[in-house]
Amino acid sequence: MAARFTTRVKRVGEAPIVAVRLWLRGGARLEDVPGQALLTGRLLAEGTRRRDWREIARESDDRGMLLQSLATYESIGVTVDALAEDWRLALDWAAELALEPSFPEDRLDWLRRQALGELESLLDQPEVRAGRAFLEQLYTPHPYGRALQGDAESLGAVDADACAGLHRRALEWGGLLVVAGRIDEAAVESRAAELFGSLAGSAAELPPVDAPRGLAEAHREVEIPDDADQAHLYAGHLTVPRRHPDTVALAVLAVVLGAGAGMSGRLPERIREREGLAYHVDAATYVGAGLDAGRLVTYAATSTDTAEAAELAIREELTRLVDDGLDQAEFEEARSYLIGRDPFRRETARQWADILAEAEFYGLETDRPEWVTERLGALERADVEAAARRWIRPSELRVTVGRPR
């Protein structure tokens, strides 16, 4: 049985900052009704047994803290970024919000309306509306296929008791605390033990979720709100979850396709630089991966009359990658890029806090720079080509094109 609650503490950085991340397992992946996790997460900062939302807002602002309670697909939790001198306060706030929420009903009503407003606003952005339709196309009925915000009907079905219930279950599923920054590690560990000692023991097992099947249609056209003559093209399919051993090879493939520096990579070089079809071209190979599968995503913002040409270019480049593989120089450049980039991810207290939390949450070793370097260093071109054959499947591409109405 996994431990119910774990703590990671790291002294890092020159700036006088402390970053606290407190994640409880749960999130939209395990909610009963769409939107329940989002409301539960946000309600953590709306009142505790000791303070109402006004006091929380004022007292955290008084110290210049960035205090946020939130939900993702896999967790609910609290993040605090604060000046290092306030490390104890930051830790205490995180504990109070996560362990003693009061779930005030009047705030829930406001959060529902705010979530709906937010949803409407997001869907008013052309690339988001098209991107949302693409996720639905890939993941339905898995929770990744729907919005964290749910919809008007589902939000209306969530009451304070339901939020409190999800929070109780999340405490049983357990979680983690990460504190990184210019801190005294021993003092932080001691305080964390005092605050979270009640979460000792083993974690309850996570229930299963609906497997992603996707929509039947392989090619989808959606209307987008846009004054301009721009189409937003997404093409891809599911790949692997975060813990999968092929993620390292897939990271190299993403760079080869276009996730590297500037406008380098096969897709930007062809679609933007050679053919001038788009200003923005992007590629990723396991984006969104968590406990469940992430996805291959290629994206181009292009004129409506060149969307087909851009789609064809994407298909051809993916096929060429699978059929012909990489040349050695291309492979070595991509690998070297990833090794060289790794220190960029570890500059700040907040970056370190996020890396440690992710490593702890998914059982990874990505918090160790030498592990990343060794894994990349041990990779050979043939490994990457084999991963391309396993995980890049041009014949199974799902495509969503958002076009102005």
**Residue numbers 50-109 binding other proteins by CB under 8 A:** 50, 53-54, 57-73, 79, 81-83, 85-86, 88-89, 92-93, 96
Nearer CB in complex with other proteins: 203/240:
240
Nearer CB in complex with other proteins: 203/353:
353
Residues 210-239, one symbol each (x = binds other proteins by CB under 8 A, - = not), give ---------------xxxxxx---------
Nearer CB in complex with other proteins: 203/333:
333
Residue 146 C-beta: closest distance to other proteins, Å: 4
Residue where the block lists tokens 């999340």: 170
Report the site for other proteins in 380-399 (rule: CB under 8 A): none
* 23, 103, 337, 361: which one binds other proteins (CB under 8 A): 337
Residue 141 C-beta: closest distance to other proteins, Å: 12
* 166, 249, 251, 334: which one binds other proteins (CB under 8 A): 334
Question: Binding residues for other proteins, how many (CB under 8 A)?
Answer: 111
For residue 24, which of 350, 357, 363 has the smallest C-alpha distance? 357
Distances 196 to 5, 84, 94, 99, 193 between C-alpha atoms, Å:
8, 21, 10, 9, 5
Tokens found for residue 401: 């094109």
Nearer CB in complex with other proteins: 226/246:
226
Nearer CB in complex with other proteins: 394/404:
404
* 20, 24, 98, 301: which one binds other proteins (CB under 8 A): 301
CA 359 – CA 368 distance, rounded (Å): 9
Q: 369 preceded by cis ω (within 30°)?
A: no
Tokens found for residue 255: 């760079």
Report the site for other proteins in 140-169 (rule: CB under 8 A): 144-152
Residues 257-286, one symbol each (x = binds other proteins by CB under 8 A, - = not), give ---xxxxxx---x--xx--xxxxx------
* 255, 257, 326, 353: which one binds other proteins (CB under 8 A): 255
Residues 16-35, one symbol each (x = binds other proteins by CB under 8 A, - = not), give xx----------------x-
CA 218 – CA 205 distance, rounded (Å): 35
Report the site for other proteins in 107-136 (rule: CB under 8 A): 110, 113-114, 116-126, 128-129, 131-133, 135-136
Single-letter amino acid code for the residue at 168:
R
Tokens found for residue 39: 């409301």
Residue 333 region by backbone torsions, left for phi larger than 0, else alpha for psi between -120 and 50, else beta? alpha
